Structure 1
Amino acid sequence: MLIQLDFSAVFSQWPMLLRGVAWTIGLTVVGTVLGLLLGTACAWARSRNLGPRPAALRWVVAAYVELVRNTPFIVQLFFLFFGLPALGLKLSPELASVLAMVINLGAYSSEIIRAGIEATPRGQVEAAASLALTPGQTFRRVVLPPALQKVWPSMVSQIIIVMLGSAVCGQISTPELSYAANLISSNTFRAFEAFIVATIVYLALSMLTRRLLVWVGARFLVGR
């Protein structure tokens, strides 16, 4: 028996599909920016190459990183959306999705960035101190740029993983791409075609995002 594909039924729902793509891109952009900021702060807190840090701060950050890195993303998402209301804090699906992506990327990126920081020669930090740079200036101008250069390929891969992980957010009714594909499948009874289209879109988004991030790294990191 031959399967007769009918993509016209799927493409007739293009506004819903386009909205899903827009939400996936939006979640990825916000999650990446805030997640990298969180990861950088956590890497600074745990790095031994930048001088002593309060022990309590290191333990709190280490606990956060280990907790997130050793639990599934969907569990983290469900905890924020279904668990927090038990404590009196109810989040919208969109806010819970963004927060889960930020928390997840922050934990993974902190270890990636910390590896780059630890690879920075101690002499560079001491040279910055001899030039009367403050610890903040030393971190921003001397330590962080070369650290990001070293680890940027790994960071790009992690960002792509987080973007693809946003497909889970449809489970709490965030209107991203996989949620749109599910709705189109229900409306048209063309599940095979709907998810073929979703797969192709995810593939295109991944390739374009990787190229964009590689260009950003070459332009603003290596170019320095």
Structure 2
Amino acid sequence: MGYTLDFSVVWHAMPALLWGCVGTLGLALAGMTLAMMIGVAGVAARDAKAAWLRALVISFVEIVRNTPFLVQIFFLFFALPLIGLKLNPTATAIIALGVNGGAYAIEIIRGGVQSIHKGQIEAGYALGLHKGQVFRFIVLKPALRASYPSLTGQFIMLTLTSSICSAVSAYELTSVAQRIESDTFRSFEVYFSVTFLYLAISWLLMLGFAVISHRFFSYPTR
């Protein structure tokens, strides 16, 4: 029995799909922000004098990087309420994305930190800067510049990973597509179109990251 393509259902559902794209971008940007905060804090703690703090960061990175994202988001959504901490789907998705992305951001930024010559750090201390100022002005920005391409690639992957958040009914593109498909039974047309919408989101993010790179991380020219 032949299958007749009918993309009219996608056209009629396009407003909902576009709002799903907005939901995906919202989750992704919030997750990226949290991931960057965790990444920077984790790098600072990774080289702290306190051994327990270093061990805590290392354990966090290893646990997150070596467990599936689906298990992580299920833990937040289904396990935490058993100890009295109940999160709504959106908050669960943002925290899960931020924690997952943060674990990778720690290692990526740390690689950028290790690329900085120790003489620059010693020069900062010689000028009378305290440790926080040295980290902020001498270590962090050059490290972010060095690790920026890897960070942007990881964050685009994080955006695509947000599709798994549909498993806890977070509002994003895949969850919208699933509802449309269940109403129309047009799986091919719906997911074919969603594929191109995710491509558009990825290209939009790459363009935005390129603008940020040019604005904040490009080397000055004469």
TM-score, normalization by structure 1 = 0.94
Question: In structure 1, what is the Cα distance between the partners aligned to 2:83 and 2:16?
Answer: 34
What residue number does 1:91 align with?
A: 87
The one-letter amino acid of 2:182's match is S
CA drift at 1:185: 0.4
CA drift at 1:215: 2.2
1:38 aligns with 2:6: no
**Contact 2:32/2:155, CA 8 A, preserved across alignment:** yes
What residue number does 1:14 align with?
A: 14
Question: In structure 2, what is the Cα distance between the partners aligned to 1:21 and 1:189?
Answer: 21
**Contact 1:10/1:188, CA 8 A, preserved across alignment:** no
1:192 aligned to 182, 188, 193, which one?
188
CA deviations over 1:94-136 (Å, ceiling 9, x no partner): 1000000010011000000001101111111110111111211
Question: In structure 2, what is the Cα distance between the partners aligned to 1:174 and 1:136?
Answer: 38
Gaps of 5+ in 2: none
2:139 aligned to 135, 143, 157, which one?
143
Question: In structure 2, what is the Cα distance between the partners aligned to 1:35 and 1:11?
Answer: 35
What residue number does 2:206 align with?
A: 210
What residue number does 1:169 align with?
A: 165
Question: In structure 1, what is the Cα distance between the partners aligned to 2:18 and 2:201?
Answer: 13
CA deviations over 1:42-99 (Å, ceiling 9, x no partner): 011113xxxx521111011111111000001111000000110111111101100000
1:25 aligns with 2:21: no
Q: Give the number of equivalent residue pairs.
A: 220
Gaps of 5+ in 1: none
1:66 aligns with 2:62: yes
2:53 aligned to 52, 57, 69, which one?
57
% identical aligned pairs: 44
**Contact 1:156/1:214, CA 8 A, preserved across alignment:** no
Question: In structure 1, what is the Cα distance between the partners aligned to 2:217 and 2:53?
Answer: 29
CA drift at 1:140: 1.1
3-state SS of the aligned residue for 1:12? helix
1:130 aligns with 2:126: yes
CA drift at 1:2: 4.8
**Contact 1:19/1:175, CA 8 A, preserved across alignment:** no
TM-score, normalization by structure 2 = 0.95
CA deviations over 1:147-178 (Å, ceiling 9, x no partner): 11111111111001100000000011111000
Question: In structure 2, what is the Cα distance between the partners aligned to 1:9 and 1:195?
Answer: 12
**Contact 2:34/2:95, CA 8 A, preserved across alignment:** no
Query: Where does 1:150-165 land on structure 2 (aligned, <5 Å)?
Result: 150-165=146-161
1:117 aligned to 113, 127, 148, which one?
113
